C-alpha cells in the first residue's frame, strides 16, 4: 500500500510539474489558461518526438489540432455558409440571410497558424466569421491558403492575394451585393501578416480599382529581422506561443532547411549587406518607453549571406511588412491593430503602429495588458475565456464604426 501511495504521489507531482506554468497576475481564469498552454505544449512535445523519429513532420502533428477542430460549413438562421473556390483557392463564404437594405459591407479574412496550420473551417474561425457576418450584415470571405511545409513562401501570399483580386472585381462585388467602398481585409497572427502584406501590395496594383476601406491586424507577425525584441525576451517561455515555436513557424514559412531555423534562433540570420533594413525595426526608436521595459538595444549581429541568397523571402516585405519603405505605407487605409502584452509578437504590432502613424495613417491601437497570443479566438465552450469575448466584441465594434 505504501509503495502504491508513493508511486501515486510521485506521478501526481510529475503531472503537476508538467502542467504548471507561471501565469501573470493580471490574467483572468488562470487555471484554464494554464491547462490550455499545457495542452499546446504537450502536442508540441509529441510533434518533436514524431519529427525526430521520422514518423511525421512536426507541423503535420500540430495540424491534428486543425483536423480535430474542423466543422462542416453549416448554415444557421442568420448566415448561409458554403465552401467554394475563388481564383482556384479554397474559401469559406458567409452570406447574411436577412434581406439587404442596400449594398453590404465585406470582410476578407486570413486565418492564423504560422503559415503552417489552421484553416477557415476550424471552429474558432468559423464562429468568428459567422459572428462578423451576422453582427455587421456583411459578406465574409475566409481564405484557406496553402500551408507549409508542403508549400513555402510566396505561395501563401500569392493565394490570399489572388483571392483578394478576384473578389474585388466589380462583377464579383456586384454578384454578392457588396459596396465597393466598404471592403476590409483582416487577419490574425500569420493571417495578420498576410493582411498587411496584401494591403501594401494592393496600393501598387494598377489592375485593381477597388481600394480597402480598412484593415484589421490582430496580434500580427510583421518582421523577421530581429527575433530578440523585448517581447520575444519577456515571453520566451510564455503562454500558447513561446519564442521557439514562433521561430520555427518563421523558418518553416521559407524552408524546411534546419540551417535557417538555427540561424534565426541565435538571431544571426541577416547578412551585413541587408543591415540598412534594421532602421525599419529598430525598437529603441519605435517602441514607447513603457514597452522597452529594462531591455537594452544592441546592434545587430550579422550572419552569412548564403542563407539570404538561398532563401531571400525573409527579407521580402511581402513576408515582413514592417520592412516596407515609408512611402509605401502612406496610402494605407484606416487601421485597427490589436496587441497583447503576454505575446512574443507584441512589439511587431506596436512598431507597425508607430510607423503607420508617422506615415499619416489613421490607426486605432488596442493593447490588451491582460491577454496573450490568440486570446481573441477562445470564445467557444469548453475553452471560452472572458478576455476572448471582450476582444472579439471590441473588434466587431471597431469594424461597425469604421467599415
Taking CA atoms, 391 is separated from 233, 340, 347, 355, 367, in Å, by 25, 10, 18, 24, 10
* Catalytic hit among 144, 188, 343, 348: 343
Indicate if 373 belongs to the active site.
yes
Residue linked to cell 525599419 = 280
Spatial separation of the C-alpha atoms in residues 346 and 338, rounded to whole Å: 9
Spatial separation of the C-alpha atoms in residues 7 and 12, rounded to whole Å: 8
Coil/strand/helix, residue 80: strand
Indicate if 189 belongs to the active site.
yes
CA-based max dimension of the chain: 79
* Catalytic hit among 57, 152, 269, 373: 373
Question: In 3D, which of 230, 172, 175 has the Cα closest to residue 350?
Answer: 230
Indicate if 367 belongs to the active site.
no
**Within 10 A of 400 (CB to CB), how many other CB atoms are there?**
14
* Catalytic hit among 129, 133, 189, 274: 189
Which strands make up the sheet holding 89-96, listed edge to edge?
A: 79-86, 89-96, 138-143, 104-110, 178-188, 214-218, 335-342, 363-372
Taking CA atoms, 312 is separated from 19, 260, 315, in Å, by 39, 11, 6
If phi over 0 gives left and psi between -120 and 50 gives alpha, with beta otherwise, what is residue 67? alpha
The DSSP string of 147-176 is: -TTTS-TTHHHHHHHHHHHHHTSHHHHHHT
CA end-to-end span of the chain, whole Å? Answer: 67
Question: In 3D, which of 280, 282, 224, 277 has the Cα closest to residue 250?
Answer: 224
Q: Tell me which H or E stretch contains 178.
A: strand 178-188
Catalytic residues: 189, 343, 373
Amino acid at each position: 500500500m505504501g509503495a502504491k501511495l508513493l508511486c501515486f504521489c510521485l506521478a501526481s507531482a510529475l503531472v503537476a510539474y508538467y502542467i504548471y506554468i507561471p501565469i501573470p497576475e493580471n490574467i483572468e481564469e488562470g487555471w484554464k489558461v494554464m491547462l490550455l498552454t499545457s495542452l499546446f505544449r504537450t502536442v508540441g512535445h509529441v510533434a518533436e518526438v514524431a519529427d525526430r523519429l521520422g514518423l511525421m513532420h512536426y507541423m503535420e502533428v500540430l495540424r491534428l489540432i486543425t483536423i480535430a477542430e474542423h466543422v462542416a460549413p453549416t448554415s444557421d438562421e442568420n448566415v448561409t455558409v458554403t465552401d467554394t473556390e475563388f481564383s482556384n483557392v479554397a474559401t469559406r463564404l458567409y452570406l447574411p440571410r436577412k434581406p439587404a437594405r442596400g449594398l453590404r459591407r465585406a470582410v476578407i479574412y486570413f486565418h492564423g497558424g504560422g503559415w503552417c496550420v489552421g484553416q477557415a473551417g476550424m471552429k474558432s474561425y468559423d464562429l468568428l466569421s459567422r459572428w462578423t457576418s451576422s453582427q455587421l450584415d456583411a459578406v465574409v470571405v475566409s481564405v484557406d491558403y496553402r500551408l507549409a511545409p508542403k508549400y513555402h513562401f510566396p505561395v501563401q501570399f500569392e493565394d490570399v492575394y489572388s483571392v483578394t483580386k478576384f473578389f474585388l472585381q466589380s462583377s464579383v462585388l456586384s454578384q454578392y451585393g457588396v459596396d465597393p467602398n466598404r471592403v476590409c481585409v483582416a487577419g490574425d497572427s500569420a493571417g495578420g501578416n498576410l493582411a498587411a502584406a496584401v494591403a501594401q501590395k494592393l496600393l501598387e496594383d494598377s489592375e485593381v480599382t477597388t481600394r480597402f476601406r480598412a484593415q484589421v491586424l490582430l496580434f500580427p507577425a510583421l518582421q523577421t529581422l530581429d527575433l530578440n525584441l523585448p517581447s520575444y525576451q519577456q515571453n520566451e517561455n510564455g503562454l500558447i506561443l513561446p519564442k521557439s515555436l514562433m521561430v520555427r513557424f518563421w523558418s518553416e514559412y521559407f524552408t524546411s532547411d534546419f540551417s535557417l531555423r538555427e540561424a534565426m534562433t541565435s538571431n544571426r540570420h541577416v547578412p551585413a549587406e541587408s543591415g540598412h533594413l534594421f532602421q525599419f525595426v529598430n525598437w529603441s526608436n519605435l517602441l514607447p518607453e513603457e514597452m522597452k521595459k529594462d531591455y537594452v538595444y544592441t546592434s545587430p549581429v550579422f550572419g552569412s549571406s548564403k542563407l539570404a541568397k538561398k532563401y531571400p523571402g525573409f527579407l521580402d516585405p511581402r513576408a515582413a511588412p514592417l520592412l516596407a519603405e515609408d512611402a509605401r505605407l502612406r496610402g494605407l487605409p484606416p487601421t485597427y491593430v490589436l496587441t497583447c502584452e503576454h505575446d512574443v509578437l507584441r512589439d511587431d504590432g506596436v512598431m507597425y503602429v508607430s510607423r503607420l502613424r508617422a506615415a499619416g495613417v489613421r490607426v486605432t491601437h488596442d493593447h490588451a495588458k491582460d491577454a496573450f497570443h490568440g486570446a481573441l479566438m477562445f470564445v467557444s465552450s469548453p475553452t471560452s475565456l472572458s478576455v476572448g469575448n471582450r476582444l472579439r466584441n471590441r473588434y466587431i465594434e471597431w469594424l461597425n464604426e469604421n467599415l
